Structure 1
């Protein structure tokens, strides 16, 4: 067996550089680079490997570790999970700064690889600078805090452990049902320790995303349910994008005259002016979508985990409505006592389309007219809100209307927290897929500027506009400097309403005098 002597850090980068992912016959380079900030826990290991390793991985030095994880998450989200950046940090605060970003990635089912430095595996210099000591379990340190927010966690105390950990990391990162943050803790001595690795470990490896089909039994049962459905509704989640199923969904909806509403992650799956597109659903949704949802007798949920804002805390649907979950994840498929259709979104819609065509299914003219009327009424309301004026200052909906008119159809609007996600979900008019980028699962304040950096790294089709309130902006905006250093153009629209007014409004609505 041919072998090559490398440090563990050098081997890790060489391995990552040879990872590819394939979907529908198209091959994509999976790991595009590494973002990080160097300290004593990673500079002489991973830092040396990045400087002299000779890989094709790009290195981006950022200014805040949490911001870099947000940037990497936004990159993967905008890439439909077909490409990632890894993030490296020193031990101590550098590592724990990444935990919030890890939680956001895992909650949103977005792959991101985290490589925090760790204490010495040998334990001989203990306690090293920034090491947290745990009297009741000496093996526990700060990096164990990544466990609850990671889909896979490992600590590589020997260089040869990379060959197991690396494959497991890639298994999770490329799994559409189980992906999220993957954390490989790298003790600072192990990073620099050499080992004779088999050269086969560094050969090009392709991870195939084989679409999970919708099996015959659930397909038949679903067709039978549609046969008697008079007021069906589709809820499009982020899985529609990640499955590259937007065009399939559009054809499905129009062929059978079924209205489509969208979650925050699913928005832009349908063009706003499509006949069957009725906009956002739930607490931040449109009147058209919510009235149809409350009256629907059959709800097909495609690629959504149905968080409370989507379901209006489970009060937004009719009590007797049947809920079907077309989702590659079995965990999400059982929510709200629904019927699980465990399958890839695109292949599932295609199979269901064939089944409905065989029975000649189509909703009634009366239902189609109702959809059209509700949609028209809501469009009139959006026009009114976009034109609102106030002598005392700018109106947020008017700002959105002006921006919506200004940007090109291929430009991306990006946001995460405050009152803006609600107005964007209701009002923003998307024409093309992937032009609406909201982190509204964790709704992490501070995501916007860093997220714009990552999204722009992934998006060459148009501009990226981060729209952010002053409260969220002040929490984390240091990656503006990173965008300038790396010559990555982002556009930031900053709205100053003197801080945290969204929560103040909620507070006052529930009895506070302000």
Structure 2
């Protein structure tokens, strides 16, 4: 049948099972939006307040559902406004297809109005990018884009389409998608070698990254950990892959990881690395990281093997499949003496905070109790992000959405909107610092327009908290441009944008307000006033070994 390019775009989205799109219309993409108007019963289109919000919403949708997120924008500034969101998705391996439209083919390369080479701009931050100049290539290109976005190590793909392609027509045939068999890149001998290393270990430690979430390996990971009888730590991206309430769990590793995880990894004789890339925020000084241990790494991306840390053995493959194969042949092990030492560390070095005042950790702990760990939590970037990772007990995968690799301030609210669109029956909460909230708080208008009952918790210390923490500890308290000193009222802003609003100034108000917000049935902003000098501990100084983690008590004893 003959279809226009705009119709082909929507038909291809239907082929891929897409029912939700985030975007913002404009001149070059008008033909697609006109077709969306005609087919509005087939798609939930959420028009965000800004294109960056659309990219973050598509990201949050993808992370929380496991599906490919889709965002759309027009040419020029519309497409460039997607860039931060695309880069965020790229750094955290999030499957996304960004569809942009460009000027008509004859106008390309002539500095035409709102023309920009978005494919060129995003080349370093996408798995692949296309510019479609022929309507006959459109369907094939879109199918390739979705395949690339979700295969192997996932990531964003950009498809830029000239406006005249969306107008022209060609024959279109619907394609029924079939499940492709994954190419196996390891053999049985690799499995046996890994098992041999595990059996020889006396002090194994399991280090879990975002690959465990992406591969859906939670059940296999649980069985593996209890069979090996080894402690488990995770990265920011790995949260929820392993139950945060499990007795083997030791907390996050790295710059703001627990002392138990950091000391344990520093003392183990085998570090079993599952779907993690040895980020600098995890390893600290790479030369001293896990220096007493052999390294066994399992990852789907061969490029991550020996990139940051040299391994003793590695298996390249899908983590769920590899762990399943290992679990079939791995004998039940006992490391009671090692686990007893780790348990002693847990008792000696628990996470702690000041209990005589309102703090973010207290708010997060109460939220965890009220939701029983069943909410989807998104965050922005900074102190509040670390506190959320430390004090909310993530029990399930795809329940923690945060910008780990890029560290994108302003990410959380859009991601929370996307998560709620993809999981309408789940409670979705964004935890943001006041600095981050300012960056994209216009997306509250999106939440209220579409009546998405999300909860936005603003941890308001009237400063850029994490930057101030560094200034306090390492820059002689030179608070250069980190104190807001203004009169912004976030509750009034929230109400003006169609949301309910509450303010918390003391501990006794936390639970009653959280209960009201959970039952509000509309988007809610909670402005939480905390002290400006609260700090995230433990902490590892930049470039130091993770065994040098310190907390408030260590600082006090030094003084």
TM-score, reference length from structure 1: 0.87
Q: Pick the aligned partner of 1:109 from 93, 98, 113.
A: 93
Give the match for residue 136 of structure 1. Answer: none
Q: Pick the aligned partner of 2:53 from 67, 87, 96.
A: 67
Kindly state the Cα deviation for residue 73 of structure 1 after the two structures are TM-superposed.
0.6
Q: Is the 8 A contact 1:153 1:183 kept in 2?
A: yes
Q: Pick the aligned partner of 1:186 from 158, 161, 178.
A: 161
Q: Pick the aligned partner of 1:368 from 317, 321, 339.
A: 339
Which runs of 5 or more structure 2 residues have no equivalent in the other structure?
479-559
Give the match for residue 102 of structure 2. Answer: 118
* CA shift in 2, pair 1:99/1:328, >3 Å: same
Q: Given the alignment of the two structures, is residue 494 of structure 1 paired with residue 458 of structure 2, yes or no?
A: yes
Q: Is the 8 A contact 2:373 2:393 kept in 1?
A: no
Instruction: Supply the distance in 1 between the matched residues of 2:194 and 2:411 (Cα, whole angstroms).
Output: 39
SS class of match (1:35): strand
Give the match for residue 321 of structure 2. Answer: 347
Q: Is the 8 A contact 2:108 2:115 kept in 1?
A: no
Q: Is the 8 A contact 2:384 2:459 kept in 1?
A: no
Q: Pick the aligned partner of 2:134 from 142, 145, 158.
A: 158
Kindly state the Cα deviation for residue 211 of structure 1 after the two structures are TM-superposed.
7.9
Q: Is the 8 A contact 1:483 1:489 kept in 2?
A: yes
Instruction: Supply the distance in 2 between the matched residues of 1:211 and 1:78 (Cα, whole angstroms).
Output: 26
Q: Is the 8 A contact 1:275 1:372 kept in 2?
A: no
Kindly state the Cα deviation for residue 85 of structure 1 after the two structures are TM-superposed.
3.2
- Summarize deviations over 1:244-302 as a string: whole Å, max 9, x none: 21122112111221111011111122223312111111111111111110001111111
- Summarize deviations over 1:180-204 as a string: whole Å, max 9, x none: 111111111221112233x2xx132
Q: Given the alignment of the two structures, is residue 145 of structure 1 paired with residue 132 of structure 2, yes or no?
A: no
* CA shift in 2, pair 1:249/1:461, >3 Å: farther
TM-score, reference length from structure 2: 0.81
Instruction: Supply the distance in 2 between the matched residues of 1:405 and 1:55 (Cα, whole angstroms).
Output: 39
SS class of match (2:412): helix
* CA shift in 2, pair 1:182/1:125, >3 Å: closer
Q: Given the alignment of the two structures, is residue 40 of structure 1 paired with residue 27 of structure 2, yes or no?
A: yes
* CA shift in 2, pair 1:77/1:194, >3 Å: same
Moved over 6 A (4+): none
Instruction: Supply the distance in 1 between the matched residues of 2:70 and 2:228 (Cα, whole angstroms).
Output: 43
Kindly state the Cα deviation for residue 8 of structure 1 after the two structures are TM-superposed.
0.9
Q: Given the alignment of the two structures, is residue 9 of structure 1 paired with residue 14 of structure 2, yes or no?
A: no
- Summarize deviations over 1:188-232 as a string: whole Å, max 9, x none: 1221112233x2xx1322343648475212212212212221111
What aligned pairs does 1:193-212 form with structure 2 within 5 A after superposition? 193-197=168-172, 199=173, 202-208=174-180, 210=182, 212=184
* CA shift in 2, pair 1:111/1:94, >3 Å: same
Q: Is the 8 A contact 2:380 2:433 kept in 1?
A: no
SS class of match (1:91): coil
* CA shift in 2, pair 1:296/1:124, >3 Å: closer
Give the match for residue 24 of structure 1. Answer: none
What aligned pairs does 1:81-120 form with structure 2 within 5 A after superposition? 83-120=67-104
- Summarize deviations over 1:28-60 as a string: whole Å, max 9, x none: x3x2332211111111x2112212257733222
Q: Pick the aligned partner of 1:228 from 184, 200, 212.
A: 200
Instruction: Supply the distance in 1 between the matched residues of 2:380 and 2:109 (Cα, whole angstroms).
Output: 42
Give the match for residue 484 of structure 1. Answer: 448
Kindly state the Cα deviation for residue 79 of structure 1 after the two structures are TM-superposed.
1.4
Instruction: Supply the distance in 2 between the matched residues of 1:303 and 1:147 (Cα, whole angstroms).
Output: 25
Which runs of 5 or more structure 1 residues have no equivalent in the other structure?
20-28, 133-140
Give the match for residue 135 of structure 1. Answer: none
- Across the aligned residues of Structure 1 and Structure 2, the Cα RMSD in angstroms comes to 2.2
